[in-house]
Amino acid sequence: MKKFRGGDKLLHWYRTHRRDLPWRKTKDPYRIWVSEIMLQQTTVETVIPYYEKFLKRFPTIESLAVAEEDEVLRYWSGLGYYSRARNLLKAAKIIVDQMGARGRAVSLSNQARIWLCQSERIDWQQLPGIGRYTAGAIASIAFGERVPVVDGNVVRVLSRLFLIGSDPKSPAGQKIFWGLAALILPDRDVGDFNQALMELGATICTPRRPACLVCPVYDECEARKKGRQDLYPRLAKRAPAQKITMTAALIQKGDSLLMVRRPAKGILKEMWEFPMVEGGAERLVRDFGFRPIRALGSIRHSVLNKRLVITPYLCQMSRIPRMKSQWIHPEEIDRFPTSSMNRKILSKLL
């Protein structure tokens, strides 16, 4: 495999053209950690306001560690993939508990920083929600450790630069991409280099119509030389998304609406939502005893590999559901942990 000679060009491009993002203005491992967790499966544009709101409420790892799960979920509400928030809270508690137990004569923030940055103190990936990528991002960006990161953007850049045909999701492909990412690391400025690779994939080396003419490593790219950029990376075909038809009930009492809390197990566990069933309006009658009055159109929503088509109905109720329930004013819904799906449903009424 050829030697990569574009490192200096890539770093210069990144420092000149990188996006002005709030988590790039800090070396605080806690804030970098929060950003990396939020950015999983979520776009930068979506994350920014949530990141700022979350850190305003939980500015330190200690403030997060003592928080109740419901409050953390409320500040995460709308981002989706709520296990990320639960794992973030669990990991914060572990860090603060273990460092508090050490009883060092330094501030807890400094203890946490020391504990986080020294690899001999912990197997990073034993912390809930922290995998190899997140561990590498925090270590390299916050502390300058010479470790690689590999996400979807990096995979796309490397597969095109070096014409790698392996499926990046396969065990063999993972080994190749992580090994290559480690091989091309510079001796210094590793955090910037890793971010430069990710930034290149996000803004220039995009999945469709990459902007090759303005790419800082144009001369290095084997896929570009062969005119095969669009063929890389070579991804295995995904299973088709599962389409599900659902019906939601909007039941009014004065200015408030009935919401129920989901069970403690399964998808969106313990989140608040409008009463909902899989299938048509007749299921609202059978499962809840509600009487549908009028359909309010439909909304579409995606959860993992499921594509939901939801029809909200104005309903009348003869009995309170057995699930935990509460009458909630529409303006207060954001005070409860709830999915953005419910805001879409509510928009059909307002």
pLDDT tens figures, 301-334: 988 788 999 999 999 988 888 888 999 999 888 8
> Distance (Å, rounded) from C-alpha 170 to C-alpha 235?
9
Residues of the chain above pLDDT 90, percent: 67
Question: What's the pTM value of the predicted model, to 2 decimals?
Answer: 0.80
Are 173 and 166 within 8 A, CB to CB? yes
Are 197 and 191 within 8 A, CB to CB? no
> Which residues participate in catalysis according to the annotation?
36
The residues, any chain, with a CB within 8 Å of residue 220's CB and separated by 6 or more, are 4, 5, 6, 161
> Distance (Å, rounded) from C-alpha 257 to C-alpha 176?
53
Q: Which two tokens stand for residue 309?
A: 């088509």
pLDDT at 100: 65
pLDDT at 110: 53
Find the angle CA(36)-CA(11)-CA(51) to the nearest 5 degrees: 20
Residue with more model confidence, 86 or 110: 86
> Distance (Å, rounded) from C-alpha 205 to C-alpha 156?
7
Instruction: Flag whether pLDDT at 120 surpasses 70.
Output: no
Set out the domains of the chain in order of their start, with CATH numbers: 7-231 (1.10.340.30), 242-347 (3.90.79.10)
Q: Which two tokens stand for residue 58?
A: 């939980």
Distance of CA 153 to the CA centre of its chain: 14
